[in-house]
């Protein structure tokens, strides 16, 4: 009997099968023995615009990274943060409207419940040290706890949120990747949200281009007039290029008897703070209707008319609204027109269209 030999198609088929299994085995062994390499986590640069004051937030204590930012963004838009799994931070803070709840007088929450205050804008948060209309917290990291635990907003507990995230394997991996001392816990959760918010800087409006002498910053006659009026009659409270001095003031709104919201006094416990609320930034103000802490005014025209004719006196009324001519801010029709044109200058199209902050 002659020696066996394989030739032709049979040999080629058997060789190919053999080669396939050998290669597969090599790959499996190689993968099993390969050391785990964590994802690269790049530090992000927080660029302070040249016309802005210094940062308040301690970047060194929580330096924003790419993975931390992405985790914070995911959390910001995740309904897991609420008791019904539907209400996310982004539900009330819509990017198209400078992260406010456009058209809603009060914030809307779980089970279609309604709050008692208007949703404030989110931008330039790293430049402030007190948050919410009444300054209920003095640290950005702690700010999300307020809506999360408010029974008519997100209606959840911090323990409940963390337990839901721990049960999610994808979140577990993202936390491990984002933080050196990884793990799903309250500290890392709040730091991730802060990293997302710290990067949300709005500083590219037409006004900014004008101040920085950049292309596209040329003002029209009515815009320039509006800037002058603003500097003369509004900049005491809406100071610096953040357009707020961060103070708490009673601006003369008649109290809503159904709410009886005393504002800052809820936090301080002092009657001297009755009906004082934080001065909001005017950046992107043309997009953020309705206005005031209780969203009572649907337009900027209504706001100006109030300051001209509607201010009500009280023991804590801000001194800037008391003049020899009476209460409020005297405004002619021409001055109102100029201010409305100026407010449009503060819209930052780059910010509201920045895909880094978008849900989708």
SS3 340: helix
Which residue matches tokens 């936090």?
Answer: 267
Question: Could you give the domains of the chain?
Answer: 66-202 (1.10.760.10), 206-351 (1.10.760.10)
Residue 201 reports pLDDT greater than 60: yes
Q: DSSP letters of 54-111? A: ---S-TTTS--BHHHHHHHHHHHT-GGGSTTS---HHHHSBGGGTSB-TT-SS-B-GG
Confidence of residue 296 (pLDDT cuts 50, 70, 90): very high
Task: Quote the tokens at residue 277.
Answer: 């609320």
User: What would the pLDDT profile of 230-287 be if each residue is shown by its tens digit?
Assistant: 999 999 999 999 999 999 999 999 999 999 999 999 999 999 999 999 999 999 999 9
The pLDDT value given to residue 38:
57
Global pTM? 0.88
Give the contacts of 290 (CB within 8 A, at least 6 positions apart): 103, 104, 105, 118, 296, 297, 298
pLDDT (average), residues 223-229 = 99
Q: Is the peptide bond before 199 cis (omega within 30 degrees of 0)?
A: no
Q: How does pLDDT run across 106-162, given as a tens digit for each residue?
A: 998 999 999 999 999 999 999 999 999 999 999 999 999 999 999 999 999 999 999
Q: How confident is the model at residue 23 (pLDDT cuts 50, 70, 90)?
A: very low
The annotated binding site is made up of 89, 92-93, 234, 237-238
Task: Please name the residue that has the structure tokens 């709840």.
Answer: 101
Q: Are 77 and 88 in contact (CB under 8 A)?
A: yes
Task: Find the mean pLDDT for residues 166-177.
Answer: 98
Average pLDDT for the chain: 92
Cα gap 347→142, rounded to integer Å: 28
What span, in angstroms and rounded, lies between the C-alpha atoms of 63 and 39? 17
Q: Would you list which residues are annotated within the binding site for heme c?
A: 89, 92-93, 234, 237-238
Question: What pLDDT does residue 325 have?
Answer: 86
Q: Long-range contact list for 295-298, CB < 8 A, 24+ apart?
A: 295/104, 295/105, 295/106, 295/117, 295/118, 296/105, 296/253, 296/256
Is the pLDDT higher at 211 or at 4?
211
Bridge partners (DSSP) of residue 326 are: 323
Phi then psi for residue 31, to 5 deg, are -65, -40
DSSP letter assigned to residue 35? P
């Amino acid at each position: 009997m002659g020696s066996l030999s394989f030739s032709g198609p049979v040999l080629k088929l058997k060789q190919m099968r053999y080669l396939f299994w050998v290669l597969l085995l090599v790959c499996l062994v190689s993968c099993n023995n390969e050391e785990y390499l964590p994802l690269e986590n790049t530090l992000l640069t927080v660029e302070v615009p040249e016309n802005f004051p210094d940062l308040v937030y301690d970047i060194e204590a929580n330096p924003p990274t790419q993975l931390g930012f992405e985790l914070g963004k995911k959390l910001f838009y995740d309904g897991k943060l609420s008791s019904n799994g539907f209400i996310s931070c982004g539900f009330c803070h819509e990017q198209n409207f400078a992260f406010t709840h456009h058209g809603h007088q009060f914030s809307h929450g779980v089970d279609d419940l309604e709050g008692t205050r208007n949703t404030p804008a989110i931008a330039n948060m790293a430049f402030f040290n007190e948050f919410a209309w009444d300054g209920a917290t003095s640290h950005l990291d702690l700010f999300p706890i307020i809506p999360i635990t408010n029974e008519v907003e997100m209606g959840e507990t911090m323990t409940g949120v963390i337990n839901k995230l721990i049960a999610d394997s994808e979140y577990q991996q993202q936390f491990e990747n984002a933080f050196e001392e990884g793990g799903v816990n309250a500290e890392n959760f709040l730091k991730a949200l802060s990293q997302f918010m710290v990067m949300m800087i709005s500083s590219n409006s037409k006004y900014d281009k004008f101040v920085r002498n950049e292309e596209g910053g040329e003002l029209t006659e009515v815009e320039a007039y509006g800037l002058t009026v603003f500097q003369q009659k509004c900049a005491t409270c809406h100071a610096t290029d953040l357009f707020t001095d961060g103070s708490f003031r009673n601006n003369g709104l008649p109290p809503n008897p159904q709410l009886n919201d005393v504002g800052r006094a809820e936090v301080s416990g002092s009657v001297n703070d009755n009906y004082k609320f934080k001065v909001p930034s005017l950046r992107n103000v043309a997009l953020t209707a309705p206005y005031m802490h209780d969203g009572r005014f649907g337009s900027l025209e209504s706001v100006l008319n109030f300051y001209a004719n509607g201010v009500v006196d009280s023991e804590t009324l801000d001194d800037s609204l008391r003049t020899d001519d009476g209460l409020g801010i005297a405004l002619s029709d021409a001055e109102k027109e100029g201010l409305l044109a100026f407010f449009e200058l503060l819209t930052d199209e780059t910010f509201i269209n920045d895909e880094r902050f978008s849900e989708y």
